[in-house]
């Protein structure tokens, strides 16, 4: 019977909704586990047991665990104060150590970033950006991380220079799922032409956005607009509004998208329609590469 894995260290992506952990060895990933023990459902005393539920069997000696994401928020396990941009996305010396009851756990949390003006914050995305830079050393330009809270990020000379958050994914979920429009957009099909029309309308006349939402309901009642077309057009209107406001980031710039394959491709197409080339990087690859970078930086210090 074999003993525990005892990896070199453990990488942890600990967001609001989920916890994902990777056992890391010299050859790469040895094991992976995940749970829905996100920060949002844990009180302060719940973090250590939630972590042990996934990694208890992996280790029988003291082991470093590097975590990123909302675990470091004020309502998280231990607050990891934001670092102010401009700064490298992940930095030596910046990891915050956590006191644990179990002596095997040597937990460190990567802090998020803040921007004073316009006021903005991120937690977790900074690690993905560090990972993207590790995967493509020397990249200079714009990242877009689409999602619940989309981020547009300008990186130069290895530092995050500025960034801007958009509540696009959260607004879509609220409007499509809970507003009066929900009656006309059940399901999950996709209508690319309706999406493209929404993006185009929002970009060309952004001041008309507020007038275009209820029309989706009226078009369904009067003209039989289908649920897939209505939902896709809503998505296009909201992503178009994001693109209109983020124009200073992408206008005339190549963009690197970090996100899920489906959402990244939606943004990639919308940007292509504006003449902007974009390449995509898988979010999980970037998260893991960023945690590796944080781990190495920290090890060099030790």
The residues of the shown chain that bind its own copies, judged by CB under 8 A, are 74, 82, 114-116, 118-121, 149, 164-168, 170-171, 174-175, 178-181, 206-211, 213-215, 217-219, 221-223, 238, 241-242, 244-247
Nearer to its own copies, 194 or 289 (CB): 194
Nearer to its own copies, 91 or 245 (CB): 245
Find the shortest distance in angstroms from Cβ 189 to its own copies: 21
Nearer to its own copies, 193 or 218 (CB): 218
Please give the structure tokens belonging to residue 47. Answer: 């973090």
Rounded Cα distance, 148 and 173, in Å: 9
Helix-helix angle 209-223:227-245, to 10 degrees: 170
Find the shortest distance in angstroms from Cβ 187 to its own copies: 19
Q: In the beta sheet, which residues pair with residue 223?
A: none
For 104-124, give one letter per residue: b (16+ CB within 10 A) or e.
bbebbbbbbbbbeeeeeebbb
206: left (phi over 0), alpha (psi -120 to 50) or beta: alpha
Q: In the beta sheet, which residues pair with residue 68?
A: 13
Find the shortest distance in angstroms from Cβ 79 to its own copies: 11
Nearer to its own copies, 154 or 217 (CB): 217
Find the shortest distance in angstroms from Cβ 116 to its own copies: 7
Nearer to its own copies, 104 or 247 (CB): 247
Nearer to its own copies, 92 or 204 (CB): 204
Determine the Cα angle at 206 with ends 166 and 263, to 5°.
40
Q: Which of 58, 66, 114, 119 is nearest to 87 (CA)?
A: 114
Determine the Cα angle at 127 with ends 134 and 19, to 5°.
125
Nearer to its own copies, 18 or 164 (CB): 164
Find the shortest distance in angstroms from Cβ 180 to its own copies: 6
Phi, psi for 61 (deg, rounded to 5): -145, 165
Which runs of consecutive H residues, i.e. helices, occur in 136-191? 168-178
Find the shortest distance in angstroms from Cβ 286 to its own copies: 21
Find the shortest distance in angstroms from Cβ 216 to its own copies: 9
Taking residue 255's Cβ as centre, other Cβ atoms within 10 Å add up to 20
């Amino acid at each position: 019977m074999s003993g525990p894995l005892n990896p070199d260290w453990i990488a942890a992506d600990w967001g609001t909704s989920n916890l994902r952990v990777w056992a890391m060895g010299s050859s790469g990933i040895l094991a992976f586990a995940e749970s829905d023990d996100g920060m949002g459902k844990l009180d302060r005393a719940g973090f250590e047991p939630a972590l042990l539920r996934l990694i208890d069997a992996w280790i029988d000696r003291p082991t470093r665990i590097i975590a990123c994401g909302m675990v470091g928020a004020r309502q998280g396990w231990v607050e990891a104060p934001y670092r102010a941009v401009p700064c490298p996305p992940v930095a030596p010396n910046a990891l915050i150590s956590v006191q644990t009851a179990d002596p095997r756990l040597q937990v460190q949390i990567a802090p998020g970033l803040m921007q004073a003006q316009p006021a903005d914050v991120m937690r977790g995305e900074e690690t993905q950006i560090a990972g993207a830079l590790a995967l493509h050393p020397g990249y200079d330009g714009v990242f877009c991380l689409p999602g619940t809270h989309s981020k547009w990020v300008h990186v130069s000379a290895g530092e995050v220079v500025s960034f801007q958050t958009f509540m696009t994914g959260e607004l879509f979920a609220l409007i499509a799922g809970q507003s009066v429009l929900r009656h006309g957009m059940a399901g999950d099909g996709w209508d690319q032409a309706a999406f493209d029309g929404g993006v185009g309308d929002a970009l060309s006349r952004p001041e008309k956005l507020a007038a275009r939402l209820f029309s989706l309901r009226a078009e369904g009642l009067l003209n039989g607009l289908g649920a897939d077309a209505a939902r896709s057009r809503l998505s296009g209107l909201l992503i178009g509004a994001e693109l209109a406001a983020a124009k200073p980031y992408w206008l005339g710039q190549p963009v690197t998208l970090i996100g899920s394959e489906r959402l990244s491709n939606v943004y990639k197409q919308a940007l292509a329609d504006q003449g902007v080339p974009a390449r995509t990087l898988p979010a999980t690859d970037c998260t893991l590469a960023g945690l590796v970078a944080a781990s190495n930086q920290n090890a060099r210090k030790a």
